[in-house]
Amino acid sequence: MALSRVCWARAALWGSAVPPGLYVVRRLQFVRSGLTWGAPRSSKLHLSPKADVKSLISYVVTKTKVINGKYHRFLGRHFPRFYVLYTIFMKGLQWHMTELCTKMQRGTHPAVHDILALRECFANHPLGMDQLRALQMKALSRAMLLTPYLPSVLLRHRLKTHTTVIHQLDKALAKLGVGQLTAQEVKSACYLRGLNSTHIAEERCRTWLGEWLQISCSLKETELSLLLHNVVLLSINYVGSRR
């Protein structure tokens, strides 16, 4: 069953060797337990430093502006017609990404459609999961409540696994419905996904969680780097969460 695989994946992430079959009987209970995974603690422990957040945004902006000269010359020389379409497409994405990050730096909370419009940027180079640099993986690990003090290979593997588990939990939660959650479950679910929900009203948390699920359930596995970055993109300027 899908929900049993979600719970087994959660257990595997933490080193448990319990087989997935044992979770089938209590599917709903374990979905709810997934919502409380990483329940609210001190905000000092949860929030990554401002320098990390600024670094992540600057990194995204810089990467979208950087163009590989050799690759572009190769395309222009050997595939001129394709190169025209390629540059139009990439310039459009770069403009959209730069505009979004500029708005965020000014304190604007991004809309769901603005974030989903960038999904192609996070599927491959330069912002795909396999292209992230060690500094960015460390910052993202802090935002996800994971220790950053690991070799780059282990950081990347754990971020992939962690994001995949959350993606699976999101699908299960979307089927269950946010309206079925208690106030504490809603706050815990938001906290797990990067929003410091400690001092945010319940209804605001439900709205934010709905936005997160809309984005998450629209993504393919190859686009999960966007879900990972969404921990910053969707929460940094949300009403009541500024620090």
| First-to-final CA distance of the chain | 41
Domains of the chain, residue spans: 38-233
More confident residue, 194 or 32: 194
Per-residue pLDDT at 14 exceeds 50? no
**Alpha helices by DSSP H, the chain:** 2-13, 27-36, 43-46, 50-65, 69-78, 80-105, 112-116, 134-143, 152-176, 183-192, 202-216, 224-233
pLDDT at 80: 61
The mean of the pLDDT values for the chain is 74
**Residue 20 contacts residue 4 (beta carbons within 8 Å):** yes
**Residue 110 contacts residue 233 (beta carbons within 8 Å):** yes
- What backbone phi and psi angles, to 5 degrees, belong to 111? -80, 155
pLDDT at 129: 93
> Sorting pLDDT into bands at 50, 70 and 90, what band is 62?
low
Model confidence pLDDT, tens digit, residues 184-210: 999 999 999 988 888 899 999 999 999
Token reading at 69: 């000269």
Helix 183-192 and helix 27-36: axis angle, to 10°?
60
User: What's the predicted TM-score (pTM) here?
Assistant: 0.69
pLDDT at 151: 95
Least confident residue range of 14-28, 93-107, 151-165, 166-180: 14-28
**Residue 48 contacts residue 196 (beta carbons within 8 Å):** no
More confident residue, 212 or 39: 212
